[in-house]
Structure 1
Amino acid sequence: MLISDKDVRAYRTVGESLLERIRNGEFRMLGKLPTERELAEMYNVGRAVVRDALVMLEVKGLIQSRQGSGIYITRRAYELDASEADEAVKERPFDTLPPSGPAEFLQAQQWFESHLSRLAALSATEDDLIELERLCEDCRIAPHAGSRAYTEMRFHLSIARATQNPELISLAHHLWQRRDNSPLWHNFYAPATELKSDRWTAAREKLVAALRRHDGDAAFVAMWQYVDEIKTFLTEANAIPPEEVEVVRS
């Protein structure tokens, strides 16, 4: 199957294909998917497209990524009927909106995810908290920019899942999907991710601690400050277009 990386919806084609293969029982014996690298070779796409496809399936509860172990298929994926499978990969109307710049994404992320964090602190289960603590550590030790970016996205989506609200989970997924489909974001942000900032690690740990205490207000503030750290870092690294700096500072 040949899919162009230039097609911003290539991840959806890959995701739909993987879901169909899962439902047909192709991976049932192992219980997990091939590695990200193997999938990229299989579909002749870049690994970023594969990551997006995996996130699309993970946010729907169809797969679960485990650091160092693999991408496991959940029972729910096998139990979907045809109509539920179609719904799981259905395109939403706002997928067709034009891509945003890095400043617009950070502004939206700060507002939306701070509120998500407040709700997650009140709703998170013990399993949610263990997963967030694990992902926080994975972000700290990730060996290179690509794995850090992917693990960071999974960290944020896990906060959304901890709200136990499917609509908020879906919105969080689309926010991050739109970021990764934005050429502006990749042009200005991606080079800066080569520089690892310990400030982000401390901010993440503070956020997870607030979630662990089930302190909604502290979680809201911690997420707000976390995104502030990212804004400051990217501005200092000249990773934000000059015309968008004021938006970042707002």
Structure 2
Amino acid sequence: MPTPPPAPDNPLAKRPQSKLSDQIYEVVLTDIVQGRYPEGAKLPTEIDLARLFSVSRPIVREALARLRDDGLIQPRQGAGSFVLKRPATALLRFAPIGSIADIQRCFEFRIAVEPMAARLAAARRDDAALEMIEATLRTLREAIRMGTLNIEADFAFHKAVAEASGNTYFSTTLRMLEESVRTAMLLNRQLSLHNPVQRINLVQAEHKVIFDAIAAGDEDAAFEAMHKHIQDARRRVFDGDVRN
């Protein structure tokens, strides 16, 4: 395997003053997306990365742990870390590089919070809550029929589920995340240009599974459906395969 070209002196030197581990995450992610480290390639060691970025090894370790948790690299005992997959190159065209780590962390938080909101919605929903959720699905269906993706309605669906939980902390938290959630939804839309109808229909089908579980009062199914939906949304944004 050819040796990658030498990296510039300290790639963090001119980057925004965000958390150092996030900056390293984004530099390495960019290198992976751009093919500097192709699938199967071994990343530099922690020591080499710490020297390159002029940071401590624990900071490098945190960045690598996030890349591992995001399914992008795989550590091998005694051998180092290797690139597991390469996200779509379109990711860097549509997402400001300084926002990628934030989008990933937002997905992590949503995966921890929204499935529980869906579980509670299944336990506590009433007719008004179900009608509110179903209304967002109707709006989304109409958008699909018109060949568009209504991000307002997409976010409204998630907000309606949070409100159906009967716990205002869920809906308040989601409103606080609105900008980040909308950014991820828009990014998903932009990356879907390869096969927009297939992807939009897939997302709508996931929404329908969530609604059906809530309407049936099936708490476990609602939890699992929302967890899968957000996990799949994250995969659609960051995996190289943007067709589904």
Q: TM-score by structure 2 length?
A: 0.50
Q: TM-score by structure 1 length?
A: 0.49
Considering only CA atoms, is the larger Rg found in Structure 1 or Structure 2? 2
